[in-house]
């Protein structure tokens, strides 16, 4: 292959477009890695709507990870004490299907579990749902999105009636106030941050507020950094709401016309007076008032968050409390405004569309909803009642059910739970107890491979064609540009072959991923994430496309941005309607409307990049719901025995558990080892010097890190990056310390905070 291949970066949810060309095309000597493999050339795709040619160090170096430490052949063993031996695919498939049948007969289908990944392409996700939830009849499919975005999913569903980030990246350059909470965007979503920072520097009236216990590179760029105590996010958000109410910065018409449950919320925020909130959060009243003033005086506020909000035992409440601020000020559905979750994984969004969590079904449906279950059963040709009405096991529930001996088969794919799960010693012990674990991955060794009976080699980025959806709902076709090494296969092909061998030949008769995608998008018809206008062919010819993108284009609707008059074609004539809310907003009951702003000069501006521009939500009454929450704080607050709060996070160069980035020299030299950040006051109290090794102990385990003494972290709080597993740094695993207490609504564990003690060694 000699031409340039367009694809998307397989690391974070920014979803930067990439162009890949073969090494030989670039003349001179072909670049080779240390093992002699030719390195493909990667550069940003200037035509990609989300990234416009920009990439960070991870995207720029991705090609260097393609050939290192790849799993090339199926491997099997009878017990975890034995060495693996190479097997044929036939042998591996026979073993897996026999084992599935045995577990079905002896323990029942609910003893079968699959744990997948936001690294999947949408086709992989879809086939896994069809196999597990449809053909086998168990909802025990969960993905590592449970550790990443499930609080955002639950928050959107509870507030708006459906999942889906309402904003788009253009809003970064249209906002008056960027409110970043629980997100180190500069390091974790660098290209989004580049756009925001450039705009912020050029427009000094634009405000940037960053809420984070650490002074991160993101916080360095802010007009206002609120270094709140870990676990006080809801106090802060309710405190801002209290001031917005007191200073009359709210939008009563929007609240009246477009929302429900405001009285309950108003009753809650009444209790969050500035002095109380400032005291709880550990900030000054002046800073709290400045944040509320920035928010209240801005016409357009864009809030962004990621793991600092989601990875919490009250994650859903935090998400809804952010959304509340937008609802009370009417800051949604218009350019530059709205709540915007920044997705961690490259295709966690595609996973949500395909139903890739244990309570979801394809097309933004839930297993609990009888009508939605019936729609999927009918579409898949299943008998009524085949899909279980009960949500399956979340990934932490899988761990506890392994402990209880209730799991007969665990299938893990494209994720590394032996590093990324909380309470790692307990997780590892549970994995060790699994009677039969299949581990499907592109790389070997990984920490999780030690707990597998069968290893299946997966094709990865660049070796299979499929789609991914990024944080702003832009869907990109990621085309294969090289053949997989050895006998590796696409994840969806592996799942489909197992399905066929279990007797579902017709259900899994796909010959390529384009056919899989074509079937999947039909299930999105008339759903909030309608993608029926998309296919591999369309994405290839027309480029990356944002949803909703229905096959049948809706009637256009126009809004006059000066007068607030709504008009649309009706029975041949144009009618106008006065609106009860702000002039640039409109109401319409037409789903998926093509919404345009009409300028005063008569031209129209497309506005279909955002959700809820018609101010109608997916709830039964069309209104967005306020969530009324008091702050509960950390699940494990510090105490005299464990006096410090440990917070965990990510570094600019590394990706998650280093399966790829740990093998790239440039990134390894940027971040050679883990560390613990300690404030000088705490360090001096414990006689800790810079680079001294510290044993960090929690109620669950211990780890060792060299100290990095810095004022970037607040006194009483310490920070450790989460990237290092046992393969890379023995006894330096952040998650040996963390706990699994989870949000009751999203089931997302509180990976961001636990209580620890520090012992200098």
Nearest distance from C-beta of residue 460 to ligand SF4, angstroms: 15
Contact 38, 30 (CB under 8 A): yes
Contact 629, 320 (CB under 8 A): yes
Residue span binding ligand SF4 (CB under 6 A) among the ranges 55-63, 278-286, 586-594, 676-684: 55-63
Contact 223, 293 (CB under 8 A): no
Contact 14, 196 (CB under 8 A): no
Alpha-carbon distance of 486 to 357, in angstroms, equals 31
Question: Interaction with ligand SF4 in 565-584: which residues (CB under 6 A)?
Answer: none
Q: Closer to ligand SF4 at the Cβ: 12 or 292?
A: 12
Residue 461 touching ligand SF4 (CB under 6 A): no
Nearest distance from C-beta of residue 667 to ligand SF4, angstroms: 11
Alpha-carbon distance of 611 to 530, in angstroms, equals 12
In the list 6, 37, 45, 55, the residue contacting ligand SF4 (rule: CB under 6 A) is: 55
Q: Closer to ligand SF4 at the Cβ: 55 or 127?
A: 55
Q: Closer to ligand SF4 at the Cβ: 80 or 670?
A: 670
Nearest distance from C-beta of residue 483 to ligand SF4, angstroms: 23
In the list 5, 20, 21, 56, the residue contacting ligand SF4 (rule: CB under 6 A) is: 56
Question: Interaction with ligand SF4 in 157-216: which residues (CB under 6 A)?
Answer: 189-191
Residue 11 touching ligand SF4 (CB under 6 A): yes
Nearest distance from C-beta of residue 175 to ligand SF4, angstroms: 19
Residue 307 touching ligand SF4 (CB under 6 A): no
> In 3D, which of 728, 739, 756 has the Cα closest to residue 651?
728
Q: Closer to ligand SF4 at the Cβ: 148 or 398?
A: 148
Residue 12 touching ligand SF4 (CB under 6 A): yes
Residue 14 touching ligand SF4 (CB under 6 A): yes
Contact 558, 568 (CB under 8 A): yes
Q: Closer to ligand SF4 at the Cβ: 330 or 649?
A: 649
Nearest distance from C-beta of residue 705 to ligand SF4, angstroms: 25
DSSP per-residue string spanning 305-326: E-HHHHSSTTHHHHHHHHHHHH
Q: Closer to ligand SF4 at the Cβ: 342 or 559?
A: 342
From residue 445, alpha-carbon distances to 73, 416, 440, 483 in Å are: 13, 11, 12, 21
Q: What is the largest CA-CA distance in the chain?
A: 81
Tokens 């709902």 sit on residue? 473
Nearest distance from C-beta of residue 268 to ligand SF4, angstroms: 37
Nearest distance from C-beta of residue 46 to ligand SF4, angstroms: 14
Residue span binding ligand SF4 (CB under 6 A) among the ranges 11-19, 114-122, 123-131, 361-369: 11-19
The footprint of ligand SF4 on this chain (CB under 6 A) covers a number of residues equal to 13
Contact 100, 502 (CB under 8 A): yes
DSSP per-residue string spanning 57-83: HHHHHGGGGSSTTB--S-EE-SSTTSP
Alpha-carbon distance of 102 to 106, in angstroms, equals 6
Alpha-carbon distance of 307 to 750, in angstroms, equals 10
Sheet holding 566-570, edge to edge: 573-577, 566-570, 556-560, 594-598, 604-606
Q: Closer to ligand SF4 at the Cβ: 71 or 478?
A: 478
Q: Closer to ligand SF4 at the Cβ: 200 or 700?
A: 200
Alpha-carbon distance of 749 to 741, in angstroms, equals 5
Residue span binding ligand SF4 (CB under 6 A) among the ranges 50-58, 81-89, 242-250, 573-581: 50-58
Residue span binding ligand SF4 (CB under 6 A) among the ranges 13-21, 82-90, 224-232, 417-425: 13-21
Residue span binding ligand SF4 (CB under 6 A) among the ranges 4-12, 107-115, 130-138, 359-367: 4-12
**Residue-wise burial string across 278-304, b where 16 or more C-beta atoms lie within 10 A, e elsewhere:** bebbbbebebbbbbbbbbbebebbbbb
> In 3D, which of 490, 630, 657 has the Cα closest to residue 147?
657
In the list 6, 20, 40, 59, the residue contacting ligand SF4 (rule: CB under 6 A) is: 59
> In 3D, which of 143, 144, 126 has the Cα closest to residue 135?
126
Residue span binding ligand SF4 (CB under 6 A) among the ranges 14-22, 552-560, 617-625, 671-679: 14-22
Residue 504 makes CB contacts below 8 A (sequence gap 6+) with 131, 135
Nearest distance from C-beta of residue 231 to ligand SF4, angstroms: 28
Nearest distance from C-beta of residue 199 to ligand SF4, angstroms: 17
Q: How many CB atoms lie under 10 A from the CB of residue 576? A: 11
Nearest distance from C-beta of residue 265 to ligand SF4, angstroms: 35
- The residue of the chain with the least Cβ separation from ligand SF4 equals 59
What stretches of 110-192 adopt beta strand conformation (E)? 112-116, 141-143, 177-181
Q: Closer to ligand SF4 at the Cβ: 14 or 208?
A: 14
In the complex, the residues that contact ligand SF4 under the rule CB under 6 A are 9, 11-12, 14-16, 55-56, 58-59, 189-191
């Amino acid at each position: 292959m000699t031409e340039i291949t367009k694809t998307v970066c397989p690391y974070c949810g920014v979803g930067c477009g990439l162009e890949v060309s073969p090494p030989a095309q670039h003349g001179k000597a072909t670049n080779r890695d240390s093992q002699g493999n030719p390195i493909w050339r990667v550069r940003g795709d200037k035509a990609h709507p989300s990234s416009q040619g920009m990439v960070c160090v991870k995207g720029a170096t991705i090609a260097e990870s393609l050939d290192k430490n790849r799993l090339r052949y199926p491997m099997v063993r009878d017990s975890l004490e034995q060495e693996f031996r190479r097997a044929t695919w036939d042998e591996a498939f026979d073993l897996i299907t026999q084992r599935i049948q045995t577990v079905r007969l002896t323990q029942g289908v609910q003893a079968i579990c699959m744990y997948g990944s936001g690294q999947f392409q949408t086709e992989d996700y879809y086939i896994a749902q069809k196999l597990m939830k449809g053909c086998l009849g168990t909802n025990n499919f969960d993905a590592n999105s449970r550790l990443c975005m499930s609080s955002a999913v639950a928050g959107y569903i509870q507030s708006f009636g459906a999942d889906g980030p309402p904003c788009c990246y253009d809003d970064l350059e249209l906002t008056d106030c960027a409110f970043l909470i629980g997100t180190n965007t500069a390091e974790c979503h660098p290209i989004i941050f580049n756009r925001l920072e450039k705009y912020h520097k050029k427009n000094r009236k634009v405000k940037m507020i960053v809420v984070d216990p650490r002074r991160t590179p993101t916080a360095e760029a802010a007009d206002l950094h609120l270094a709140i105590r870990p676990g006080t996010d809801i106090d802060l958000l309710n405190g801002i709401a209290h001031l917005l109410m007191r200073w009359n910065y709210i939008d009563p018409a929007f609240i009246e016309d477009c929302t429900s449950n405001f009285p309950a919320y108003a009753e809650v925020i009444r209790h969050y007076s500035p002095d109380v909130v400032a005291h709880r959060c550990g900030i000054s009243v002046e800073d709290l008032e400045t944040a509320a003033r920035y928010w209240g005086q801005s016409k357009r506020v864009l809030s962004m968050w990621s793991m600092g909000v989601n990875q919490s035992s009250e994650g859903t409440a935090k998400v809804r409390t952010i959304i509340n601020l937008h609802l009370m000020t009417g800051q949604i559905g218009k350019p530059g405004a709205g709540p915007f979750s920044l997705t961690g994984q490259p295709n966690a969004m595609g996973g949500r569309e395909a139903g890739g969590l244990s309570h979801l079904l394809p097309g933004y449906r839930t297993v609990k909803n009888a009508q939605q279950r019936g729609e999927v059963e009918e579409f898949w040709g299943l008998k009524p009642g085949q899909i279980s009405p009960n949500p399956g096991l979340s990934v932490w529930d899988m761990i506890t059910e392994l402990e209880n001996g209730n799991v007969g088969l665990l299938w893990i794919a494209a994720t590394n739970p032996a590093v990324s799960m909380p309470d790692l010693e307990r997780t590892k012990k549970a994995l060790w107890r699994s009677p039969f674990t299949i581990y499907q991955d592109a790389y070997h060794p990984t920490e999780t491979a030690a707990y597998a009976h069968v290893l299946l080699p997966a094709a990865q980025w660049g070796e299979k064609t499929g789609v991914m959806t990024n944080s702003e709902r832009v869907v990109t076709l990621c085309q294969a540009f090289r053949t997989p090494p050895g006998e590796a296969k696409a994840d969806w092909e592996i799942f489909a072959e197992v399905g066929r061998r279990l007797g579902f030949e017709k259900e899994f008769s796909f010959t390529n991923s384009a056919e899989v995608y074509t079937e999947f998008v039909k299930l999105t018809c008339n759903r909030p994430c309608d993608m029926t206008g998309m296919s591999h062919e369309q994405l290839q010819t027309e480029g990356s496309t944002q949803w909703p993108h229905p096959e049948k284009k809706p009637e256009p609707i126009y809004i006059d941005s000066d007068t607030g008059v709504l008009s649309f074609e009706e029975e041949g004539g144009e009618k106008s309607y006065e609106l009860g809310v702000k002039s640039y907003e409109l109401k319409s009951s037409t789903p998926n409307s093509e919404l345009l702003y009409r300028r005063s000069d008569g031209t129209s501006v497309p506005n279909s990049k955002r959700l809820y521009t018609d101010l109608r939500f997916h709830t039964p009454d069309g209104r967005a719901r306020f969530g009324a929450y008091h702050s509960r704080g950390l699940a494990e607050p510090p105490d005299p025995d464990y006096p410090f709060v440990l917070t965990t996070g990510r570094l600019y160069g590394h990706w998650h558990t280093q399966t790829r980035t740990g093998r790239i020299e440039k990134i390894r030299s940027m971040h050679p080892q883990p560390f613990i950040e300690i404030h000088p006051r705490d360090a001096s109290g414990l006689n800790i010097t810079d680079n001294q090794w510290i044993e960090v102990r929690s109620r669950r385990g211990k780890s060792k890190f060299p100290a990095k003494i810095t004022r970037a972290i607040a006194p009483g709080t310490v920070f450790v990056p989460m990237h290092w597993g046992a393969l890379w740094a023995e006894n330096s695993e952040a998650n040996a310390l963390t706990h699994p207490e989870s949000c009751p609504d999203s089931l997302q564990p509180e990976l961001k905070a636990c209580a620890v003690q520090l012992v200098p060694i």
